[in-house]
Every structure is written in structure tokens, then in C-alpha cells.
Structure 1
């Protein structure tokens, strides 16, 4: 009875449609899955229907971009009401910020490589939230690199001269808006130092004071020492502890469904705390 609570589809920067992500989760032997596309809930119903067909539990979610003065912070939100004005406003802001950032990175890349904004848009499915993976796909399409992974390693990482930061709300604001929409805010990969600066323990404590309910501990980008720090925080503050893959598709990232999972007891805590929308299927009590 294991659950993967952090996955992405073509609604944002994954490479597979929501129904395909769910089918892959069933093949991986998971009991349930959360779809957490960046700044969008557009894949929820497709994923929910597919989960029902495969006999899986489904938990609606989203990953929201935020930042402090020194760090980029991704907040996972589960079971929020997507029509709540607090969520609509923050989604509009973060999605707009993602587009402007992508355009600026594209402009820098175009100075040295044969890519254009039109080529980037060709990599985007429907109304998907645009992100760096789509820029990576454009570099692949242009023959500059062979894979998304190579694109990130060579040109799209934070230390690259092509990199541009994103103007996002403070994570405290995100936490408060998620709670106002009946959602369950859980910080994603909070100790992923390889991605850039991380929050201090004091800053994490402040987010808990603001209403954050959990920490994603078991994630491939959280090193063992960081995982222990998060577990210590969870014990002190009685937080929900999750583990997940951050799956982006077989060709999206090396992350594989079910490589880290969340225990049913922790999933039950999420279900008990969320009031804005509902999960479906064989959910834990």
C-alpha cells in the first residue's frame, strides 16, 4: 500500500499525459498516486478517471513555485479547492512568471544556438505550464543536445550564464493561500542543495508557524543528512512526512515512479486535513 505523491504530466513539464502517468503507476505496483503539475489542476479529471479504471487511489495536487530572497521553494498542495480566489490569483501569478522567465532564457540561448520562442512553444502540449524542460526539449529538437538531462547539465542549471530566476510569491504567502483554499501544503525536496540554495531550519520553522503541514523527506535530491534534518523537524512539529518520485515521464527525467513512496498512515493524515477537494478510489482510512 504505497503512494507516490509527486508526479508531473504534459499539463506542465512531464512527457506523458495524465492517464498514461496513472497507467505507469499501476504497472509500478503503486496503490495510489497524486498528480502535482506545476501551477495547474487541468489534469485532475483525466487522472482521476484513469485511476478509477486501474483501481488506484487518486489524490489531486499541484506544485507551486515560490521564492525567498535567497532560495527557490516548491510547495506541494493537496486537496485544495482550485476555484478558490486565493488559488486562482496565485496560479495566475506563478504561471505568468514561468512564461516570462522562459522567454528570457530563450532569448539568451538564441544568441548562441538555433532556437526560437516558436520552437519552444512547439514542445508544449495544449495549455501546459511552460518551464525549463520545454526549453530543454527545444535544444534537443535543434540538435544542440541529445536529451533533457544533457540540456540541464550543460545549459539550464542555476550556475549557467543562460539561467534566469523566476519572480514568484514568498512561500509563506503560498502556504497561507493553500490553507485558505482547504489544501494541505507540504514543502517539496527542501534539502535539495544541488538545485540551489535551500531554506534554513529557522525559515522552515517559520513556514510551519504559517500553516505548512508537512515535509517531503524521501526524494532523490534530499541527501541523507538533509532527510534526517527534515525528520527531526517533523517529529518536533508533528508534521506529515512524505516520499515521492517527482516523476516527469520515462523520457523526462531519470526519476522513476515509486522510487520513493509515502506510507498509508501519512496519506490518511493528508486526507483528514484537506477540505477543498476530495481524493477517490481505495484511499486509506
Structure 2
């Protein structure tokens, strides 16, 4: 089995529709892929329907954008109930804040560069979780930068002149919400220094006390030291270790299957889940 538990579609900041992500997973030789769009589960049905067509098991998931002491934290959730009211309310609050933040950033950028809100919204569907990657795509389409990476490096990074904050739940609370919804929470790329500031171990420890199941140790944005630290910390706290690509289609260089998760770990994730949502089998 070849298992990749972190991939995005056009329902958030990926460039492929959910069913295309599943098709690409099949082409990459995966047996299992998780669809984990930012703050939304809207792509689940299309991905599930594609499981049989492409012979790939689909794990329904989500990536929740959190914040601790001003530091960004990303929490993956697997097999939760997508209709759990408390979690839904928190996700909707975060999605709306992301949209408001993106609009304000575009207003700031437009003072210096020819960029409009309509150009940004043209890069996303009506219900897409809209964020900085869509601003980047609009800048690429407008010829302002060559690619997403350049847009982030020059204009959209968190310490740049156009940065605007947005609401994001505390990661400990997010862990509690995922567990209450019958899901299994795993911290995404916890020690990816190149993305910006990272939280201290005490934050991970508090998340573990709240029910955090594992750490995504094997990830492109982890260097050797970061991976080793994540594996050691997971062992000390009695948590699972996962590996994933964090695939975004053409939006990032990450390729499906470049990091994978052991089948026994996925079995434990299924065992820990509340059974309200199940894997879509091929």
C-alpha cells in the first residue's frame, strides 16, 4: 500500500478538482489518498465518487488553519463528521475571515500594482476557501510575477508590507473540535521553519493532552533535523507519525507520494475514529 494523507483541490488552494486529485493519485501509483482542503469538506463527495473509477481509496479529511501566540499552526483532521455543528461554525468563521483578509490585502497591493478583487475571485469557485494562493494566481495571470512562489516571496509573505491577519482558532481547541466530531487530528508539518515561525514543543504537548493523534513528520518542508525532532517528540508523547506530500497540483512543486504513511498508521487512525465517516474504498 502507498498512502498519501495530505492533498488539496480547487475547493481550497489546489489547482485540480477533487476527482482529478484522485485520478492523479492513481497515476502516481498510490493506493490511498486523503483530500484535506483548507477549512472545507466540499470536495468529499466528488473525491469519494472517483475512488472506484480510479481504483484509489479516499480518506475524507480537512486542514484547519489555526494560530497559537501569533504563530500559524495547521491541523489535519481525518474521518470526522462534516455536519458537527460546533466544528462547522468554527470553520465558517475562519473561512469568512480569510475572505475578508484577502480582500484587504488586494486593496493594499492595488495601491502599488495593477491588481483587482475581480481578478482574484476569478481564480476561485464561488464556495472555494479563498486565500493568499488565489491572490498569487491572479498576480501570475496578470503578468506581475512568474509563479506562486515568486508572489509569496515578493509580496504575500507574513512579514511583508501587504500582510493582513485573519481569525484562526487556537490549535488546542481545534483538536478538541475534531475529536468531538469523531475525527482524528494530526498536526501538519509541525517544524517547517522555512514557512515562518514554529510553535514550541509545549504547544504540541498541550495539543496532545487535548487528543492530538500524531505528527506529520515526513514532509518536504522538514529538513533532516526537523523530521528527527518530530519523530522523537511523537514517540515521547505516544503519538503516530505520518508522511504526506501536501499536494496542490500545479500550485506547488510537491508531488503525490513523495512522502507516505505506513499502512499500520492509517489502520490506527481508522481505529481511533468515531466511525461517523469512513474511507471510500476503490
**TM-score, normalising length: structure 2:** 0.97
Q: 1:141 matched to which residue of 2? A: 141
User: For 1:189 and 1:88, how far apart are their aligned partners in 2?
Assistant: 24
Matches within 5 A, 1:238-249: 238-249=238-249
Shift of 1:261: 0.7
What secondary structure, in the 3-state scheme, does the structure 1 residue paired with 2:225 have?
helix
Residues 237-257 of structure 1, C-alpha deviations (whole Å, 9 max, x = no match)? 2211111111110x2111111
Which has the larger displacement, 183-192 or 228-237? 228-237
Q: 1:266 matched to which residue of 2? A: 265
Q: 2:175 matched to which residue of 1? A: 175
Shift of 1:141: 1.8
Q: 1:256 matched to which residue of 2? A: 255
| 1:51 to 2:48 alignment | no
Q: 1:128 matched to which residue of 2? A: 128
User: For 1:12 and 1:215, how far apart are their aligned partners in 2?
Assistant: 22
User: For 1:14 and 1:183, how far apart are their aligned partners in 2?
Assistant: 23
| 1:29 to 2:32 alignment | no
**TM-score, normalising length: structure 1:** 0.96
Count of residue pairs brought into register by the alignment:
281
Moved over 4 A (4+): none
User: For 1:141 and 1:58, how far apart are their aligned partners in 2?
Assistant: 32
What secondary structure, in the 3-state scheme, does the structure 1 residue paired with 2:7 have?
coil
Shift of 1:55: 1.4
What secondary structure, in the 3-state scheme, does the structure 2 residue paired with 1:113 have?
coil
Shift of 1:272: 0.7
Shift of 1:126: 3.3
Q: 1:5 matched to which residue of 2? A: 5
Shift of 1:161: 1.1
What secondary structure, in the 3-state scheme, does the structure 1 residue paired with 2:255 have?
coil
Shift of 1:166: 2.1
Q: 1:62 matched to which residue of 2? A: 62
What secondary structure, in the 3-state scheme, does the structure 1 residue paired with 2:98 have?
helix
Residues 239-285 of structure 1, C-alpha deviations (whole Å, 9 max, x = no match)? 11111111110x21111111111110111111111123111216xxx
Root mean square deviation of aligned Cα: 1.0
5+ residue gaps in structure 2? none
Matches within 5 A, 1:222-237: 222-237=222-237
